[in-house]
């Protein structure tokens, strides 16, 4: 077969057509939702920025759980590491440039990802889950005890980011932080779209389905998963740093078991193994939580629980996953 | 010719029971060898020992002259010892094209790349299409594996193994579970395997063994009791006693 013919077939393949379009559509949707959010909730941009930070954590979790099949209830450790690193850089070392703080967050998240990956990947199934819980408790306790650095249970304060690019001050209304968050989310989303479609992404999907088969192809699942954990840590670190920069305080809740569990709930709600699923789950969960807790402060947790039960029972692939499956079935029927 | 694959005095016991008992064999490039034996003869243990999934008590395994006894399963694949599985182990949500591309990329050390997609890599796609074309799977290359027939999945197993460009190929019952109507396609694929590839096939289907193999090794109670030509295997009294009795008698009667 000639190269020209091959290229024609590649260009004509349905998978190829889907790919580039998906990136742009995804980016357009993120930006559209961000703009709508900006105009609908001009006085609540802090909530929207918090949602973006959580979305980065859930995307990060999706990389290891959705794409690689790793069970974890300790993923906030990576997020918290990023948040504390960015916060400590500012509060203790006077590194107040938001981009430098972001870099600290990314590196700390990646290092935390490496540490967690090395430990968690030694086990499978339930023992893996237990290891992840142990890790988040260790991280939490470490941050609590190292109070001279982290502020302990009082939280880390004194974070004072300077103007973004020397031009945009972090204002009281949270506009700069919100735009900064949207840009970060868009960049991370595009990078992750590239990664999940890359040979490495394909390798990880293979590992999720059958690590024995991957070994028989000469690849090491453990090395690949550790690498994915580091990438995941960097993404969670972006979320953590964004949280530290936008709220200018870092609390112990940013590396809590509760946050880890909530991020898993958001992922399952949206649908695992899909970046769109992770984003959908985060937005729906956090909005639902915010609206319902304001409407009924006494029974809001019951309502959140009811929503989750309904989704798990009637849309087991998650909100996005089920919708995508329905659309695909309709297309096939045509 | 220097052997491409050697097993020397391989031993493994479980709780005092010798499951692999002083097994030695040697294969040259292009060999077509069938390994047969009754249930419990130790074929699975032997496969696990040579592929590095199980450590031997003693003995040695060599690939292209290099001792690999201390090398793990992944290292042995990278040195050219590739196996297929008795029960298909494919990725249900991935396409045949993705399977073969992943094998090609892994073989070339490119499976860890974070950017780019194999559909945009002409060299990979040429190989994917050639391999799948040879095995009659080209039309299905973008379908999910869960949507293709079992016989086609068996062929894809073979395609994945071949994409790794092995020196030695271990085929574990390549036609197991395949409907009669599809076995011809698999036999053709086996006949078309690269001429310089050493193939060791573990198989129960004696008709397939006799059509495919130029040499038959019989394993019984963990030891090799016969190593010779297919025409002699049914005449060997130890083989008749251990394994082939009814088949040999039947073929003689016929």
Q: Is residue A68 part of a domain?
A: yes
- Predicted pLDDT of residue B204: 81
- Predicted pLDDT of residue A21: 67
Distance from CA of A193 to the nearest CA of B (A): 9
Q: Is residue B120 part of a domain?
A: no
- Which residues on B lie below 8 Å from A324 (Cβ)? none
Q: Which residues pair with B228 in a beta bridge?
A: B216
B244 pLDDT band, cuts 50/70/90, is low
Using CB atoms within 10 A of its CB, is residue B116 exposed (0-12), middle (13-18) or buried (19+)?
Answer: middle
- Which residues on B lie below 8 Å from A200 (Cβ)? 111-114
Contact assessment for residue A118 and residue A77, using Cβ atoms and an 8 Å cutoff:
no
What is the Cα–Cα distance from A233 to A110, expressed in whole angstroms? 4
- For A99, other C-beta atoms within 10 Å of its C-beta total 12
The pLDDT of residue A126 is above 60: yes
- Predicted pLDDT of residue A6: 41
- Predicted pLDDT of residue B243: 63
Q: Is residue B27 part of a domain?
A: yes
What is the Cα–Cα distance from B42 to B60, expressed in whole angstroms? 17
Q: Say yes or no for a CB contact (<8 Å) between A195 and B77.
A: no
Structure confidence by residue, pLDDT tens digits, B215-231: 999 998 888 999 999 88
- Which residues on B lie below 8 Å from A206 (Cβ)? 91, 94, 102
Q: What percent of chain B has pLDDT over 70?
A: 95
* Higher-confidence position of A304 and A246: A246
Q: Is residue A105 part of a domain?
A: yes
- Predicted pLDDT of residue A226: 96
Q: Is residue A241 part of a domain?
A: yes
Q: Which two tokens stand for residue A183?
A: 């840009």
Q: Is residue B19 part of a domain?
A: yes
The range of the structural domain enclosing residue A221 comes to: 19-253
The range of the structural domain enclosing residue B68 comes to: 5-89+166-253
Q: Say yes or no for a CB contact (<8 Å) between B113 and A198.
A: yes
The strand order across the sheet containing B66-67 reads B17-27, B5-14, B58-63, B66-67
If phi over 0 gives left and psi between -120 and 50 gives alpha, with beta otherwise, what is residue B67?
A: beta
The pLDDT of residue B245 is above 60: no
Q: Is B102 on the interface with A (CB under 8 A)?
A: yes
Q: Say yes or no for a CB contact (<8 Å) between A203 and B116.
A: no
Could you give the number of structural domains in chain A? 1
CATH classification of the domain holding B220: 3.40.50.300
User: Which of A3, A5, A8, A10 should we substitute to test contact with B (largest number of B Cβ atoms within 10 Å)?
Assistant: A10
Q: Across residues A83-88, what is the average pLDDT?
A: 95
Q: Is residue A188 part of a domain?
A: yes
- Which residues on A lie below 8 Å from B160 (Cβ)? 217
Q: Is residue B134 part of a domain?
A: no
Q: Say yes or no for a CB contact (<8 Å) between B160 and A217.
A: yes
According to the per-residue pLDDT averaged within each range, which of A19-28, A56-65, B150-159, B188-197 is highest?
A56-65
Q: Which residues pair with B63 in a beta bridge?
A: B5, B66
| Number of helices (H), then strands (E), in chain B | 10, 10
What is the Cα–Cα distance from A275 to A65, expressed in whole angstroms? 12
- Which residues on A lie below 8 Å from B98 (Cβ)? 202
B15 pLDDT band, cuts 50/70/90, is confident
Contact assessment for residue A240 and residue A254, using Cβ atoms and an 8 Å cutoff:
yes
What is the Cα–Cα distance from B239 to B235, expressed in whole angstroms? 8
- By CA distance, what is B51's nearest residue in A? A216
Outline where chain A has alpha helix (H): 3-12, 14-40, 45-61, 76-93, 98-120, 125-145, 147-150, 175-197, 199-209, 211-215, 221-247, 257-270, 275-295, 300-314, 318-333
- Which residues on A lie below 8 Å from B92 (Cβ)? 209
What is the Cα–Cα distance from B110 to B29, expressed in whole angstroms? 27
Among residues B10, B14, B101, which one has the least CA distance to residue B62?
B10
A129 phi/psi in degrees, rounded to 5: -65, -40
Terminal-residue alpha carbon distance, chain A? 33
According to the per-residue pLDDT averaged within each range, which of A151-160, B54-63, B171-180 is highest?
B54-63
Q: Smallest Cβ distance to A198: which of B117, B142, B164? A: B117
Q: Is residue A328 part of a domain?
A: no
Q: Smallest Cβ distance to A216: which of B83, B94, B129? A: B83
For the range A150-158, what are the long-range contacts, defined as Cβ-Cβ under 8 Å and sequence gap of 24 or more?
A: A150/A84, A150/A88, A150/A250, A150/A252, A151/A250, A152/A252, A153/A252, A155/A249, A155/A250, A155/A251, A155/A252, A156/A84, A156/A87, A156/A88, A156/A91, A156/A244, A156/A249, A156/A250, A156/A251, A157/A91, A157/A248, A157/A249, A158/A90, A158/A91
Q: Is residue A40 part of a domain?
A: yes
Q: What percent of chain A has pLDDT over 90?
A: 58
A180 phi/psi in degrees, rounded to 5: -55, -45
What is the Cα–Cα distance from B155 to B198, expressed in whole angstroms? 18
- Which residues on B lie below 8 Å from A2 (Cβ)? none
What ipTM describes this predicted complex?
0.87
What is the Cα–Cα distance from A76 to A236, expressed in whole angstroms? 8
Q: Is residue A228 part of a domain?
A: yes
According to the per-residue pLDDT averaged within each range, which of A185-189, B134-138, B238-242 is highest?
A185-189
Residue whose structure tokens are 């209830």: A73
Structure confidence by residue, pLDDT tens digits, A1-50: 333 444 444 444 444 444 466 788 888 999 999 999 899 888 889 999 99
Q: What percent of chain A has pLDDT over 70?
A: 94
Among residues B197, B100, B87, B186, which one has the least CA distance to residue B136?
B186
Q: Smallest Cβ distance to B77: which of A15, A203, A217? A: A217
- Window from A225-234, A264-273, A325-334, B103-112 with minimum mean pLDDT: A325-334
- Predicted pLDDT of residue A14: 46
* Higher-confidence position of B236 and A334: B236
DSSP state of B167: S
Task: Give the side-chain half-sphere CA count within 13 A for A244.
Answer: 44
Using CB atoms within 10 A of its CB, is residue A224 exposed (0-12), middle (13-18) or buried (19+)?
Answer: buried
Q: Is A217 on the interface with B (CB under 8 A)?
A: yes
Distance from CA of B104 to the nearest CA of A (A): 9
The pLDDT of residue B64 is above 70: yes
B41: which residues sit within 8 A by CB, 6+ positions away?
B219, B220, B221, B222, B242, B243
A46: which residues sit within 8 A by CB, 6+ positions away?
A174, A177, A246, A247
- Predicted pLDDT of residue B247: 52
* Higher-confidence position of A15 and A118: A118
- Predicted pLDDT of residue A1: 36
Q: What percent of chain B has pLDDT over 90?
A: 52
- Predicted pLDDT of residue A9: 43
Cα pseudo-dihedral A226, A231, A232, A236, rounded to 10: 140
- Predicted pLDDT of residue A182: 95
Q: Is residue B131 part of a domain?
A: no
Q: Say yes or no for a CB contact (<8 Å) between A206 and B91.
A: yes
Q: Is residue A224 part of a domain?
A: yes
What is the Cα–Cα distance from B27 to B7, expressed in whole angstroms? 9
Could you give the number of structural domains in chain B? 1
- Predicted pLDDT of residue A15: 45
Q: Say yes or no for a CB contact (<8 Å) between A16 and B106.
A: no
- By CA distance, what is B164's nearest residue in A? A217
């Amino acid at each position: 077969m000639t190269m020209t013919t091959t290229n024609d077939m590649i260009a004509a393949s349905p998978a190829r057509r889907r790919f580039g379009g998906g990136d742009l559509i995804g980016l357009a949707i993120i930006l559209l939702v961000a703009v709508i959010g900006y105009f609908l909730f001009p006085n609540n941009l802090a909530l929207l920025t918090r949602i973006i930070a959580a979305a980065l954590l859930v995307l990060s979790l999706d990389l290891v759980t959705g794409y690689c099949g790793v069970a974890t209830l300790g993923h906030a450790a990576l997020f918290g590491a990023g948040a504390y690193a960015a916060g400590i850089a500012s509060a203790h070392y006077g590194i107040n440039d938001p981009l430098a703080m972001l870099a600290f967050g990314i590196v700390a998240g990646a290092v935390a990802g490496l540490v967690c990956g090395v430990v968690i990947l030694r086990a499978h199934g339930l023992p893996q889950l237990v290891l992840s819980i142990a890790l988040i408790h260790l991280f939490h306790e470490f941050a609590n005890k190292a109070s001279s650095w982290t502020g302990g249970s009082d939280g880390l304060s004194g974070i004072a980011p300077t103007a973004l690019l020397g031009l945009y001050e972090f204002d009281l209304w949270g506009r700069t932080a919100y735009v900064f968050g949207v840009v970060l989310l868009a960049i991370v989303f595009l990078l992750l779209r590239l990664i999940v479609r890359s040979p490495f992404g394909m390798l990880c999907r293979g590992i999720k389905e059958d690590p024995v088969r991957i070994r028989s192809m000469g690849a090491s699942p453990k090395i690949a998963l550790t690498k994915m954990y580091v990438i995941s840590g960097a993404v969670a670190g972006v979320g953590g740093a964004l949280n530290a920069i936008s709220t200018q305080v870092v609390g112990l809740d940013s590396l809590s078991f509760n946050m880890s569990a909530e991020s898993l709930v958001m992922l399952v709600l949206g649908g695992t193994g899909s970046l769109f699923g992770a984003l959908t789950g985060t937005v729906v969960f956090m909005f639902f939580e915010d609206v319902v807790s304001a409407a009924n402060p006494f029974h809001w947790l019951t309502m959140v629980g009811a929503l989750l039960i309904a989704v798990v029972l009637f849309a087991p692939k998650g909100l996005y996953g089920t919708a995508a499956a329905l659309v695909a079935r309709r297309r096939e029927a045509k | 010719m220097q052997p491409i694959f050697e097993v020397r005095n391989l031993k493994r016991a479980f709780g005092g029971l010798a499951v692999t008992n002083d097994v030695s064999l040697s294969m040259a490039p292009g060999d077509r060898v069938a390994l047969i034996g009754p249930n419990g003869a130790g074929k699975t243990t032997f496969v696990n020992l040579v592929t590095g999934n199980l450590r031997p008590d003693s003995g040695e395994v060599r690939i292209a002259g290099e001792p690999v006894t201390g090398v793990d399963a992944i290292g042995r694949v990278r040195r050219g010892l590739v196996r297929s599985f008795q029960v298909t182990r494919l990725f249900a949500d991935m396409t045949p094209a993705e399977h073969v591309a992943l094998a090609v990329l892994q073989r070339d050390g490119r499976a860890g790349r974070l950017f780019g997609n194999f559909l945009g890599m002409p060299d990979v796609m040429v190989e994917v299409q050639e391999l799948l074309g040879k095995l009659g799977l080209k039309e299905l290359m973008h379908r999910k594996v869960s949507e293709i027939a079992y016989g086609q999945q068996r062929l894809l197993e073979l395609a994945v193994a071949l994409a790794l460009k092995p020196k030695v190929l271990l085929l574990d019952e390549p036609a197991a579970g395949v409907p009669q109507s599809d076995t011809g396609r698999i036999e053709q694929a086996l006949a078309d395997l690269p001429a310089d590839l050493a193939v060791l096939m573990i198989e129960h289907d004696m008709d397939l063994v006799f059509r495919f193999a130029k040499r038959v090794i019989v394993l019984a109670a963990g030891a090799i009791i016969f190593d010779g030509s297919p025409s002699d295997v049914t005449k060997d009294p130890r083989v008749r006693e251990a394994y082939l009795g009814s088949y040999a008698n039947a073929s003689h009667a016929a």
